[in-house]
Structure 1
Amino acid sequence: MIDFHCHLDLYPDPRSVVAAAREQGHHVLSVTTTPKAWRGTAALAQGVPRIRTALGLHPQIAHERHGELALFEGLLPETRYVGEVGLDGSPELRPHQDVQRRCFDRILRACAKEGGRVMTVHSRRAADAVLDAFESAPGAGIMILYWFSGSRRELDRAVRLGCWFSVGPAMVRSQRGRDLLAAMPRDRVLTETDGPFASGRDGPLQPGEVSDVVAACQAIWGILADQTAHQMADNLRRLGSMALPN
């Protein structure tokens, strides 16, 4: 299974989670929330060929961690993947909108300077602002909007700009989430969990627990289960071929 947005370092026992993901053969993008966490999180997946570690600075803590931007820029040449980054327009974070935007703009410029990166991007209540920033940073790379919750108009704009999308079980539980999934180009969709923050029937989702998303895609796209799995695998291969080598 493919899990393109998972916080491996934030599980209670990260090493056992990594070991299970390796044994089960899952493809995982392990995202980080601060540049200082990147090396330690990357070390968790050392020698695990199907796990990649993304370099992040989460928008919800950008006002606390913006001093790590220089570290972010220093680490960026070591990875093809960036995340979790972006903007969050939630009411409690409105006092920090300016610092969020400055951080995100600087991250996008750094990515463009390095030739582009694959980015998993947070856009809660801020989809248009995220897309504005992306349009203003040509060459920043490939933007994957994770757990997209914007409007249909914002989704259509993201599609026009070439964005990809990662979709988790929590998203397809609602009719609105399924409607958004139905409007996404199927060749730009990947599965994710957002574990351990998102939960399933038995607690926090573990890497690769995306069968509910596969089932939703199968129903929405009107294809068989093996065809859905093939589509996701083909999407991942194509994305990998578009990412620059380290």
Structure 2
Amino acid sequence: MIDFHCHLDLYPDPEMAVRQADEARVYVLSVTTTPKAWRRTSALAKSCVRIRTALGLHPELAHERHTELPLFEGLLPETRYVGEVGLDGSPEYKLHADVQKRVFKSILRFSSRQGGRVMSIHSRRASDEVLDCLRGEPDAGTPILHWFSGSMTQLQRAIDQGCWFSVGPPMSRSVRGRSLLASLPRDRVLTETDGPFGQDNGRALNPSDVSGMTEALAGIWNSSVEEVSEQLAANLRRLGVAVRKPSIGSMPNV
């Protein structure tokens, strides 16, 4: 199982969340929302071979935490993973669009200078703006659009630009979401929960809940659960993660 976007440090009991993910043998990308949170969050999973911690500066916090960009740049050599970063065009955050864009462009530039990173990217109501920024920094790394909710035209543009996608259970619950899922390039898809923000009937999703998304993809793609699991594991290997078939193994120390 793969949960490629989860906020382990934001669960009520982060240590328990890490322990449960480890016991369930889930590959987790633990994203952070500020550079200051990265080292502490990384320490939570220091003994877990399947969990990696991404260095983030969330767009909803960019106007408050943009002064942490030097810290971000200083920490970046210590991890291959960046997230959660990006842009948010929701009405309550659109006021801060300029600082969001400045922060995101800086992060992409830092990543380019470091040879590229695997990036988990937020693009709510800002798909075109995110894609414009990515086009301006083609060497920033592998962009994985988390919980993509743009139009079909924007989806095709993202596909054409080489983007990947991490998808979670809430996306499979609407006609529009299922249409997007059906249109994704299967060799560029990973599952996620966005826990604890991603929820199921008011319950925060845990990393092991990605099994439900694997089943949903099987139905949408007209494939077996085993075939989807193999595809997801192959996709994770393409990102440079050592995964033993069917999807059990350990992530390299990078």
TM over 0.5: yes
Distance 1:241 1:203 in 2: 30
Residue 248 of structure 2 is matched in structure 1 by none
Q: Which amino acid aligns with 2:191?
A: T
- Alpha-carbon displacement from aligned partner over 1:54-92 (angstroms, at most 9, x marks no partner): 000000010000000000000000000000000000011
Residue 44 of structure 1 is matched in structure 2 by 44
Residue 80 of structure 1 is matched in structure 2 by 80
Question: Mean Cα displacement is larger for which, 203-212 or 53-62?
Answer: 203-212
Which runs of 5 or more residues in structure 1 are unaligned? none
Distance 2:115 2:215 in 1: 36
Residue 190 of structure 1 is matched in structure 2 by 190
Residue 220 of structure 1 is matched in structure 2 by 220
Distance 2:182 2:46 in 1: 36
Residue 102 of structure 1 is matched in structure 2 by 102
Distance 1:205 1:223 in 2: 24
Q: Which amino acid aligns with 2:83?
A: G
Quote how far apart the aligned CAs of 1:208 are.
Answer: 2.5
Residue 173 of structure 2 is matched in structure 1 by 173
Alignment of 1:55-204 (within 5 A): 55-201=55-201, 203-204=203-204
Distance 2:35 2:71 in 1: 6
- Alpha-carbon displacement from aligned partner over 1:33-74 (angstroms, at most 9, x marks no partner): 000000000000001000000000000010000000000000
Q: Secondary structure at the match of 2:220?
A: helix
Q: Which amino acid aligns with 1:20?
A: Q
Q: Secondary structure at the match of 2:240?
A: helix
Distance 1:213 1:42 in 2: 26
Distance 2:101 2:160 in 1: 22
Residue 233 of structure 1 is matched in structure 2 by 233
Q: 1:241 to 1:42 in 2, by over 3 A?
A: closer
Distance 1:138 1:225 in 2: 34
Contact 1:80–1:245 (CA<8 Å) still a contact in 2?
no
Alignment of 1:18-57 (within 5 A): 18-57=18-57
- Alpha-carbon displacement from aligned partner over 1:202-244 (angstroms, at most 9, x marks no partner): 61001121123112211121111111111111111111269x9
Q: CA RMSD in A?
A: 1.6
Instruction: Please report the TM-score for the alignment, with normalisation by the length of structure 1.
Output: 0.97
Question: Mean Cα displacement is larger for which, 150-159 or 204-213?
Answer: 204-213
Q: Secondary structure at the match of 2:93?
A: helix
Q: Secondary structure at the match of 1:223?
A: coil
Question: Mean Cα displacement is larger for which, 207-216 or 41-50?
Answer: 207-216
Distance 2:99 2:173 in 1: 33
Question: Mean Cα displacement is larger for which, 231-240 or 103-112?
Answer: 231-240
- Alpha-carbon displacement from aligned partner over 1:150-195 (angstroms, at most 9, x marks no partner): 0000000000010000000011111111100111100100000000
Distance 1:144 1:17 in 2: 23
Deviating beyond 6 angstroms after TM superposition, the runs of 4 or more aligned structure 1 residues are none
Contact 1:45–1:52 (CA<8 Å) still a contact in 2?
yes
Identity %: 62
Quote how far apart the aligned CAs of 1:245 are.
Answer: 7.8
Question: Mean Cα displacement is larger for which, 204-213 or 6-15?
Answer: 204-213
Q: Which amino acid aligns with 2:23?
A: E
Distance 1:22 1:187 in 2: 25
Contact 1:178–1:216 (CA<8 Å) still a contact in 2?
no
Residue 245 of structure 2 is matched in structure 1 by none
Q: Aligned residue pairs: how many?
A: 246
Which runs of 5 or more residues in structure 2 are unaligned? 243-251
Q: Secondary structure at the match of 2:95?
A: helix
Distance 2:193 2:217 in 1: 15
Residue 249 of structure 2 is matched in structure 1 by none
